[in-house]
Chain A
């Protein structure tokens, strides 16, 4: 065994360029495979994280424009959601546990001691932090007491808090000015990309006198587990709104509804396909690698026909030749494949912060068991790649092999 490796290391050293070329091909293929598997893992992880959060149990609604005439109204009528739709929906649809509304107020600045930000804020209900997937909060989010007592409180993003106060750590408990009023900062949140400031919807409405029109509404549903139930709830919500705003309950455009629960189920399907696709691509990559190594082994065997002739003249049996070529192929694929695995994992580790921050991946890494599986696959691949050239090498008669120069 040790002798065999000595033999192999000699032939490899004697064929450095060829070995390195083969190696690069293999390492590259495996590197791609690992990066691909890691990326897919990141997407799947991200999806699993989000599906475990409760935000998928919700249906979101936006104002829309009718596309069907109804009861004497022409189509093309703008239907605007109103805050009192909220009570109607939670009162009438049994599967709805909670309704939250939010609206964007803009056209003014939020002013802090150091700087100001232009734009405005979102007036929301406590549930909004779940809808917008804001989990990391220092202090707290808008709560029910804020809603009930019409408190002038505000929740800022960490970046904006840093901007307004020079240092995000100083902001909590301090005040900012907006709409000529001061607001107490009760929470600082961290999110990959969200920046909005949040205030209680009721406070905002009381200040502005408000028309009650809202931008969007989030309906949280409970006790449903299937697509049909999700769609049933969706159509009940639509029916309530149709009655209140007088549009055709069949009109899909009067209000825009995004049924996250249904799309969550569809996403589950998509994840299965994604996984499948990654494995298919992975296997194809590996196959390409096998073909590549096999080709190079063919060339290498071709180059060494004379040497193989010498070995056979002095007593090498076909099986000795086959074992040597197979082992050589396995060693090359395994060593360089391993380099590919390590490089791929290193790249994933390196890109992890960027991918997680900017691209919606979550923990895009490949675990050890996958790496082990890939390594085993490599060994098999290497053996396969070497097999045909090896068999071919023993088919040449020793005389002919010796004549080959």
Chain B
């Protein structure tokens, strides 16, 4: 299938990434990939195949060696750290396997933190954060610390934090990896519901049931996109 470039939130062309070292490791090999606005996509592959590396590049957390990456039409290459931070803040919401919440901040403060870096007033931040927590069904947990929440609740707080800046894209690296199957299903339902509202979501996963719950599975085999990936 072919997509118009301006229709794609994410557009990768011939991306290569090598980790330098005594034995340099060529992790991504000529990866080309388009993800349309509103898609719910999963990236699957064996351990060490390069899934996280790809997702980090998508999230502008890491750079790549050659090729091109357009995010919402903007070329993401050799950006200054300031510009990268700004794009991460405005366009991308992250969800991680280990939640990555700040343990001494309560749920509300964690969710509101991205807005702090936009210079939004505390009152407004808290209102917006509360809105997202309500959406995740966690309004009553707003003032609990992460340590007082279950895994599924933590992940929903993390999703609320990813959503609070109204990004164009959610990137999730093994979001269900630390959860039991029942909670995994719940979290996947959250992603599906979000996707129904038009949010573009990319999920890296090992779990076939998670993959099955997405519109499209992109398989990575040894650093290359498997051409038999489901479209």
Tally of chain A residues near chain B (CB < 8 A): 27
Which listed residue, A10, A315, A398, touches B86 by the CB 8 Å rule? A315
Asked whether B94 lies within 8 Å of A314 as measured between CB atoms, the reply is yes
Q: Is A317 an interface residue (CB 8 A)?
A: yes
A interface footprint on B92-108 (CB within 8 Å = 1, 0 otherwise): 00101000111111000
Question: Is there contact, CB below 8 Å, between B117 and A316?
Answer: yes
Stretch at the interface among B54-62, B66-74, B215-223: B54-62
Within the complex, what minimum Cβ distance (angstroms) separates A122 from chain B?
Answer: 74
Nearest B residue to A395 by beta-carbon distance?
Answer: B81
Docked complex Cα distance between A307 and B101 (Å): 8
Q: Are A10 and B59 in contact (CB under 8 A)?
A: no
Q: Check B117 against A13 for contact (C-beta < 8 Å).
A: no
Return the CB mask of B103-126 against A: 1 if under 8 Å, else 0: 111000000011011100010000
Give the distance to chain A from B21, nearest Cβ to Cβ, in Å: 14
| Complex: A318 Cα to B81 Cα, angstroms | 7
Q: Is the interface of A mostly helix, strand, loop or mixed?
A: helix
Interface flag for B82 (CB, 8 Å): yes
- Alpha-carbon gap, A6 to B165, bound state (A): 21
The answer to whether A313 touches B100 (Cβ under 8 A) is yes
From A2, A310, A319, contact of B102 by CB (8 A): A310
How many B residues, CB 8 Å from partner? 27
Does B192 count as interface, using CB distance less than 8 angstroms? no
Complex-state Cα separation, A318 to B82, whole angstroms: 7
The answer to whether A317 touches B104 (Cβ under 8 A) is no
Residues of B near A397 (CB, < 8 A) are 61-62
B122 near A3 (CB under 8 angstroms)? Answer: yes
B104 touches A315 (CB 8 A): no
Q: Is B212 an interface residue (CB 8 A)?
A: no
CB atoms of B82 and A3 under 8 A apart: no
Instruction: Tell me if A313 and B62 are in contact (CB < 8 A).
Output: no
* Chain A residues, CB < 8 A from B90: 315
Assess whether B86 is in contact with A3, with CB atoms less than 8 Å apart: no
- The answer to whether A315 and B89 touch (CB under 8 A), given A320-B117, A402-B61, is yes
Given A314-B88, A314-B94, A315-B88, are A3 and B100 also a contact pair (CB < 8 Å)?
no
Instruction: Determine if A399 is an interface residue (Cβ-Cβ < 8 Å).
Output: yes
- Is A10 a contact partner of B61 (Cβ separation < 8 A)? no
A398→B61 contact, CB < 8 A: yes
Answer whether residue B161 sits at the interface, using C-beta atoms and an 8 A cutoff. yes
A394 at the interface (CB under 8 A from B): yes
Q: Which of B82, B103, B104, B117 contacts A314 (CB 8 A)?
A: B117
Q: Is B85 an interface residue (CB 8 A)?
A: yes
B136 to chain A, nearest CB (A): 17
Could you say which residues of chain A place their CB within 8 Å of the CB of B82?
A: 317-319
Q: List 13 A-B contacts (CB under 8 A).
A: A3-B116, A6-B122, A10-B104, A11-B104, A309-B100, A313-B59, A313-B94, A314-B117, A315-B165, A317-B117, A318-B81, A402-B61, A402-B100
Question: B-contacting residues of A (Cβ < 8 Å)?
Answer: 2-3, 6-7, 10-11, 13-14, 306-307, 309-320, 394, 397-399, 402
Question: Could you list which residues of chain B lie within 8 angstroms of chain A, going by C-beta atoms?
Answer: 56, 59, 61-62, 81-82, 85-86, 88-90, 94, 96, 100-105, 113-114, 116-118, 122, 161, 165
